[in-house]
């Protein structure tokens, strides 16, 4: 595995730097023996909440804050909520997460709430790495099994005993999600993309019966998993900002919507390494999840299509912020094309009747 490097941070993007004087003063007052921040980096993966590496004399921390210009989209960027979910999971004995350090809701420090957690050293298989990786097919296949095992384990957590039931309202979750994401698309729409309206209508007209609720991550994919650099064992899961309680097939559907295969477009392959030789197919994942969890996945097409629709809406929201000038990140300029691609793919899946 010599071609796989530990996940590293780069220089913060222009316009997304942290105010170090204020941050140093605050953290020194809150954390005993914190010391001085000697280096700041920014992790480049992801398109939502911003993630920074803070290196002091003795320790590395990770800071999470909302993206710039996102005050109109508060639910997906609630730092206190994400911090509380991680803390509750830790107290319940779930260890595939970074340990939280503190949460700050005083916006005078960074201009927004943020939280701090430990830095977990490991490998993250980001989509842009796909063409550079040479993981043996047998190991890649085992890793894809392990990822779904981790999802099944997550869905098996007792949400009542842990108190996680309080982070959401499972009754009517699917309908609220369909209606909510449809409204978010309308609010962020910049271009005429008829497939998006077609999907919103179809999803509303074909609402399925809800299954037994569980904790759901809502952004479950390879590049939100930290792997041991030698064994590629999953040691931590990241990006819990959209987690809640609801039908776990919504989580599986989102996972499948990220899961590109060898025949999928080059655009999709930039977001996941699931197209590499050895990975399970989307259909194999659905079957394996059903076998391991005992949950019926015969209607998984609905949840897959919703996942594609939701991802397209997220891209639309980010593109809208870029177009309004709230962020200068040039990666966002091409996301409107992504909205078109994913919505066409979802319509095609419905026409074909398969994943």
Q: What is the pLDDT of residue 213?
A: 97
291 & 257 share domain: yes
Give the mean model confidence (pLDDT) for residues 75-79: 70
Looking at residue 6, its pLDDT comes to 73
End-to-end CA distance of the chain: 32
Does a structural domain hold residue 2?
no
In a shared domain, residues 282 and 153: yes
- Look over the chain and give the mean of its residue pLDDT values, rounded to a whole number: 92
In a domain, 199, yes or no: yes
pLDDT at 27 over 70: yes
pTM: 0.90
Tell me, yes or no, whether 86 lies in a domain: yes
Residue 266 and residue 160 share a domain: yes
- On whether the CB atoms of residues 56 and 34 are closer than 8 A, the answer is yes
Domain-terminating residue out of 88, 118, 148? 118
Residues 281 and 228 placed together within one structural domain of the fold: yes
Q: What is the pLDDT averaged over residues 95-101?
A: 95
Higher pLDDT, 76 or 322: 322
Residue 5 lies in a domain: no
Residues 34, 150, single domain; the answer is no
Q: Left, alpha or beta for 12 (phi > 0: left; psi -120 to 50: alpha)?
A: beta
Q: Residue 328: which pLDDT band, with cuts at 50, 70 and 90?
A: confident
66 and 171 housed in the same domain: no
Choice between 333 and 247, residue whose per-residue pLDDT is larger? 247
Q: 326 Cβ partners below 8 Å, 6+ apart? A: 68, 69, 70
Is residue 342 in a domain?
yes
Residue 1 in any domain: the answer is no
In terms of domains, do 143 and 189 share one? yes
Question: Is there a single domain that holds both residue 145 and residue 256?
Answer: yes
Contact indicator for 36, 117 with CB cutoff of 8 Å: no
Query: 147 pLDDT exceeds 70?
Result: yes
Residues 77-105, mean pLDDT to the nearest whole number: 93
Same domain, 210 and 110: no
115-128 tens-digit pLDDT: 999 999 999 998 88
- In CATH, what number is assigned to the domain containing residue 93? 3.30.200.20
Rounded mean pLDDT, 210-231 = 94
Sign of CA dihedral 35, 40, 44, 46: positive
Considering its fold, how many domains does the chain have in total?
A: 2
| Cβ-defined contacts of 325-333 (< 8 Å, 24+) | 326/68, 326/69, 326/70, 327/15, 327/16, 327/67, 327/68, 327/69, 328/13, 328/14, 328/15, 329/13, 329/16, 331/47, 332/47
The confidence score (pLDDT) of residue 2 equals 42
Give the residue from 118, 146, 179 where a domain finishes.
118
Among 42-51, 137-146, 302-311, name the one with the lowest average pLDDT: 42-51
The mean pLDDT value for 6-24 works out to: 90
For the domain that residue 348 is a member of, what is the CATH number? 3.90.1200.10
Q: What is the CA radius of gyration of the chain?
A: 20
For residue 102, give its domain range: 20-118
pLDDT tens figures, 250-284: 999 999 999 999 999 998 998 899 999 999 999 99
In a domain, 12, yes or no: no
Domain finish residue from 118, 139, 170: 118
Q: Are residues 140 and 282 in the same domain?
A: yes
> Of 170, 163, 176, 153, which is closest to residue 84 (Cα–Cα)?
163
Q: What pLDDT score was predicted for residue 1?
A: 45
The pLDDT of residue 75 is above 70: no
Same domain, yes or no, for 157 and 109? no
Mark whether 165 and 186 lie in a shared domain.
yes
Contact 305, 47 (CB under 8 A): no
Is 240 contained in some domain?
A: yes
């Amino acid at each position: 595995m010599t071609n796989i490097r530990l996940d590293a941070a780069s220089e913060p993007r222009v316009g997304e730097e942290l105010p170090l004087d204020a941050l140093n003063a605050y953290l020194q007052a809150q954390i005993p023996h914190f010391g001085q921040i000697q280096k700041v980096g920014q992790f480049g993966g992801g398109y939502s909440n911003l993630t920074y590496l803070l290196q002091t004399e003795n320790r590395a921390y990770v800071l999470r804050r909302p993206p710039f210009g996102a005050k109109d989209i508060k639910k997906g960027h609630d730092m206190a909520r994400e911090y509380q979910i991680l803390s509750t999971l830790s107290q319940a004995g779930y260890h595939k997460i970074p340990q939280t350090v503190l949460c700050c809701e005083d916006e005078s420090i960074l201009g927004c709430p943020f939280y701090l957690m430990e830095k977990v050293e490991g490998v993250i298989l980001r989509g842009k790495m796909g063409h550079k990786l040479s993981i043996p097919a047998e190991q890649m296949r085992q890793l894809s099994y392990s990822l779904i095992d981790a999802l099944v384990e997550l869905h098996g957590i007792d949400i009542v005993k842990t108190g996680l039931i309080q982070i959401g309202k499972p009754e009517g979750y699917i309908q609220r999600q369909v209606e909510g994401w449809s409204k978010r698309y309308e609010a962020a729409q910049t271009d005429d993309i008829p497939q998006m309206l077609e999907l919103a209508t179809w999803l509303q007209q074909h609402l399925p019966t809800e299954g037994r609720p569980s904790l759901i991550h809502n952004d479950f994919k390879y590049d939100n998993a930290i792997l041991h650099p030698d064994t590629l064992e999953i040691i931590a899961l990241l990006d819990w900002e959209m987690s809640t309680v609801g039908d776990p097939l919504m989580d599986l559907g989102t996972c499948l919507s990220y899961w590109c295969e060898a025949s999928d477009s080059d655009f999709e392959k930039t977001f996941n390494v699931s197209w590499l030789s050895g990975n399970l197919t989307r259909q194999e994942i659905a079957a394996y999840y059903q076998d391991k969890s005992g949950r019926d996945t015969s209607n998984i097409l609905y949840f897959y299509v919703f996942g594609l629709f939701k991802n397209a809406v997220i891209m639309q929201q980010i593109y809208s912020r870029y177009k309004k000038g709230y962020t200068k990140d040039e990666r966002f300029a091409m996301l409107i094309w992504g909205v078109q691609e994913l919505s066409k793919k979802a319509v095609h899946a419905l026409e074909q009747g398969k994943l």
